[in-house]
């Protein structure tokens, strides 16, 4: 049964329909969350929270409406919001820890994460996937998100726009800039970090 029909059947009272929906969408959510930057164990936790929130929409909340877009876009939007909430909580904890460290003699200073290197030998050694992932993480979050949703999750620009709350033309522009930067990264160049490739 198509996922759209399953979620509507679940809203009508079928718990079995939600179990089938869960089976169809579980790996989609995990893959999306990993692409956004979550470690696999965290992606599973966040996917579980996403499914829980979707299940709660039967009793209350913003139910899926087929007239407003695709179910996949709606579910990925929920996962994205949960990911952003996680990042805000993590950022707040880090700021609190840094503040405590500054008040403590011999406190620790935050360490900047290193940028993964993508070298030609790694590409030739069949590590293309890791190199692509590293290149994606060099992109600004908004551009990375446009590429992930369009090229990995096969959402249209309109669906992505509804998912993240921006016009479809903005999504297309962000994706275009991202693709230009990825070409530069893969050719061994650098970008200016602001807009397009140098």
CATH code of residue 20: 1.10.1740.10
Q: What is the pTM of this model?
A: 0.61
Q: Are residues 8 and 74 in the same domain?
A: yes
Q: Are residues 14 and 73 in the same domain?
A: yes
- Tell me whether residue 51 is in a domain: yes
- Between residues 183 and 115, which one has the greater pLDDT? 183
- Tell me whether residue 133 is in a domain: yes
Distance CA 33, CA 47 (A): 8
Q: What is the CATH number of the domain that holds 131?
A: 1.10.10.10
pLDDT above 90 covers what percent of the chain?
Answer: 21
User: What is the pLDDT averaged over residues 7-30?
Assistant: 91
Q: Are residues 68 and 128 in the same domain?
A: no
- Tell me whether residue 79 is in a domain: yes
Contacts (Cβ under 8 Å, ≥6 apart) of 50: 29, 75, 78, 79, 82
Long-range CB contacts (within 8 A, 24+) of 50-53: 50/75, 50/78, 50/79, 50/82, 51/22, 51/25, 51/26, 53/78, 53/82
Q: How many separate domains does the chain show? A: 2
Q: Which pLDDT belongs to residue 122?
A: 39
| H or E element at residue 155 | none
Q: Are residues 70 and 131 in the same domain?
A: no
Range of the domain at 146: 114-186
Q: Does residue 101 surpass a pLDDT of 70?
A: no
User: What is the pLDDT averaged over residues 125-145?
Assistant: 74
Query: pLDDT band at residue 128, thresholds of 50, 70 and 90?
Result: low
- Residues listed for the chain: 198
Q: Does residue 108 surpass a pLDDT of 60?
A: no
Backbone angles phi, psi at 21, to 5 degrees: -60, -45
C-alpha neighbours within 13 Å on the C-beta side of residue 26: 10
Q: Does residue 103 surpass a pLDDT of 70?
A: no
User: What is the pLDDT averaged over residues 59-77?
Assistant: 83
H-type helices in 37-124, by residue range?
Answer: 40-56, 71-103, 120-124
Structure tokens at 97: 């820890």
Of 86, 106, 138, the one marking the end of a domain is: 86
Q: Which pLDDT belongs to residue 26?
A: 92
Q: Are residues 58 and 123 in the same domain?
A: no
Structure tokens at 6: 């399953």
Q: Are residues 21 and 62 in the same domain?
A: yes
Q: Mean pLDDT over all residues of the chain?
A: 78
Q: Are residues 75 and 10 in the same domain?
A: yes
Q: Which pLDDT belongs to residue 185?
A: 80
User: What is the pLDDT averaged over residues 39-60?
Assistant: 90
Q: Does residue 92 surpass a pLDDT of 90?
A: no
């Amino acid at each position: 049964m198509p996922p759209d029909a399953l979620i509507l059947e679940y809203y009508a009272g079928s718990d079995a329909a939600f179990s089938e929906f869960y089976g169809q969408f579980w790996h989609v959510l995990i893959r999306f969350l990993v692409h956004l930057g979550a470690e696999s164990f965290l992606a599973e936790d966040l996917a579980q929270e996403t499914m829980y929130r979707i299940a709660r929409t039967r009793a209350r909340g913003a139910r899926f409406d087929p007239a407003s877009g695709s179910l996949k876009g709606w579910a990925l939007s929920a996962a994205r919001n949960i990911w952003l909430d996680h990042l805000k909580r993590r950022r707040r904890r880090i700021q609190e820890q840094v503040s405590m460290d500054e008040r403590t003699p011999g406190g620790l200073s935050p360490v900047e994460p290193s940028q993964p290197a993508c070298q030609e030998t790694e590409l030739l050694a069949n590590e293309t996937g890791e190199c692509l992932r590293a290149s994606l993480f060099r992109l600004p979050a908004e551009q990375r998100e446009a590429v992930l949703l369009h090229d990995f999750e096969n959402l249209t620009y309109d669906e992505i726009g509804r998912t993240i709350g921006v016009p479809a033309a903005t999504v297309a522009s962000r994706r275009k800039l991202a693709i230009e930067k990825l070409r530069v990264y893969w050719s061994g160049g650098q970008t200016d970090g602001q807009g397009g490739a140098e």
